[in-house]
Amino acid sequence: QVQMVQSGAEVKKPGASVQISCKTSGFALNDYFMHWVRQAPGQGLEWMAIINPAGNSTSYAQKLQGRVSMSRDTSMHTVYLELTSLRSDDTAVYYCARDFGEGIDSWGQGTLVTVSS
């Protein structure tokens, strides 16, 4: 069945970078768009990034441009998110998610990133 298992929680200092991984199984990355979505504590859902099935095109939320990068390794069945110049308001649970053509149908379990001095 479709599964997405994300890397573990991270604690980072302001200004640092973080990379989160999302290992997929049960489907081929070449067949689906993939997204990253985040959720600050007690807040709603915020879309961050998308990568196309070919892996050669990405798009990012305007507010994150220049700090965010999404990539994938099909041989490892894994999608990655890197966020640089971390700030306290980047503290959130980060989710990878699969797009089945009608929007998101499956989500990873989430990765908590805490940014604190």
Partner 1 sequence: DIVMTQSPLSLPVTPGEPASISCRSNQSLLYKNGYDYLNWYLQKPGQAPQLLISLASRRASGVPHRFSGSGSGTDFTLTISRLEAEDVGIYYCMQALETPLTFGGGTKVEIK
Residues that bind partner 1 (CB under 8 A): 35, 37, 44-47, 50, 59, 61-62, 95, 99, 102-110
User: Counting Cβ atoms within 10 Å, is residue 61 exposed (0-12), middle (13-18) or buried (19+)?
Assistant: middle
Q: State the nearest-atom distance from the C-beta of 69 to partner 1, in Å.
A: 16
16/94 with CB nearer partner 1 = 94
Q: State the nearest-atom distance from the C-beta of 46 to partner 1, in Å.
A: 8
Q: State the nearest-atom distance from the C-beta of 29 to partner 1, in Å.
A: 18
> Can you tell me the distance from the alpha carbon of 96 to that of 108, in angstroms, rounded to the nearest whole number?
5
Q: State the nearest-atom distance from the C-beta of 93 to partner 1, in Å.
A: 9
Tokens 């099935």 locate to 53
Cα–Cα nearest to 114, from 6, 37, 9 = 9
14/26 with CB nearer partner 1 = 26
Residue at 1: amino acid letter: Q
80/95 with CB nearer partner 1 = 95
84/107 with CB nearer partner 1 = 107
User: Counting Cβ atoms within 10 Å, is residue 107 exposed (0-12), middle (13-18) or buried (19+)?
Assistant: middle
